[in-house]
Every structure is written in structure tokens, then in C-alpha cells.
């Protein structure tokens, strides 16, 4: 078996620095690697990533996203989505949907990053089942 040692999602940006600042300002991510053309951001406690695959026709998919057939939603689960919402408003981020209670036990906010990437920032409202 060939073990996976690292997984990361690379997004394309017109302005790498502005995009990195967007994520560090709203989600308190830290710069793990930094150059003028490529920046890696990780959570404060170190790199952790999960790959989620969502049925494009599921009713929780934001309107218009399923018709694309490509692309996706970048998700961040945080302790308090309201703190992220306040930070997003403070920097003038495009908020698609403010924190909203979802039927699967999370509160979800949808925003767009400076490149138009749909971002889901959520916090659990009930203990996570694992």
C-alpha cells in the first residue's frame, strides 16, 4: 500500500498576497510556507486536511453551484462561526449567507474569497459524531 503523507488543495489566485490575507484575517490561519507566488496556510495547531465529496444535487449545495458541474466549496469548521462572520464583515468580504442553523447540526456561513471561491465556514451546534 502506498501511504498518503500529505494532502493539500491549491487554489489559483490573481493576487496571492491578498488571498492569503483574506484567509489569515478571517480564519486565523498561519503561514506555513511563504514566497511571492505560492503561500501555504495551515491551522495554528498544524496541518490537517480532509477531502469531502458532496452530491452536487444535495439541497445543502448553494443555488447555482450544482449547475456548474465542476468546482466546489472549500469548508472550514471553526469553534465559533460568528467570530469568523465578524472578521469577514470587518474586511468587507462578500457574505453570501450569514451564519444560519443547518439541519445537520452546524451553523453555516457562506462567503466568497477574492477570487470568487465559495467558502463554507461552520461551527457545530451539537457534538460531532465520529
Residue 4 has pLDDT above 80, yes or no: no
pLDDT digits (tens, 9 = 90+) for 108-127: 999 999 988 899 999 999 76
Where is pLDDT greater, at 13 or 87?
Answer: 87
Per the structure, how many domains does the chain have?
1
Element (H, E) at 75: strand 73-77
Residue 4 domain-assigned (yes or no): no
Q: Which one, of 103, 79, 101, lies nearest residue 27 by Cα?
A: 79
Higher-confidence position of 65 and 27: 27
- Confidence class of residue 67 from pLDDT cuts 50, 70 and 90? low
pLDDT, one tens digit per residue, over 14-31 is 888 999 999 999 999 988
Specify the pLDDT at position 110: 97
Residue 6 resides in a domain = no
Q: Crossing angle, helix 81-90 and helix 16-27, to 10 degrees?
A: 140
Residue 87 lies in a domain: yes
120 closest CA partner among 71, 87, 78? 78
Q: Is residue 85 part of a domain?
A: yes
54: containing domain: 16-124
Q: What is the mean pLDDT of residues 96-118?
A: 93
Write the CATH number for 100: 3.10.180.10
What is the pLDDT, as a whole number, of residue 129?
Answer: 56
Tell me, what's the pLDDT at 78?
92
Band (pLDDT 50/70/90 cuts) for residue 93 is very high
Distance of CA 45 to the CA centre of its chain: 17
Domain-embedded: residue 105: yes
Amino acid at each position: 500500500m502506498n501511504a498518503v503523507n500529505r494532502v493539500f488543495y491549491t487554489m489559483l489566485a490573481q493576487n496571492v498576497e491578498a488571498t492569503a490575507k483574506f484567509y489569515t484575517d478571517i480564519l486565523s490561519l498561519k503561514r506555513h510556507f511563504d514566497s511571492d507566488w505560492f503561500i501555504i496556510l495551515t491551522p495554528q495547531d498544524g496541518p490537517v486536511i480532509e477531502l469531502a465529496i458532496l452530491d452536487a444535487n444535495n439541497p445543502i449545495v448553494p443555488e447555482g453551484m450544482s449547475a456548474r458541474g465542476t468546482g466546489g466549496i472549500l469548508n472550514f469548521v471553526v469553534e465559533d462561526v460568528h467570530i469568523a462572520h465578524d472578521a469577514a464583515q470587518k474586511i468587507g468580504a462578500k457574505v453570501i449567507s450569514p451564519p444560519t442553523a443547518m439541519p445537520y447540526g452546524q451553523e453555516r456561513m457562506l462567503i466568497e474569497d477574492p477570487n470568487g471561491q465559495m467558502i463554507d465556514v461552520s461551527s457545530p451546534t451539537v457534538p460531532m459524531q465520529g
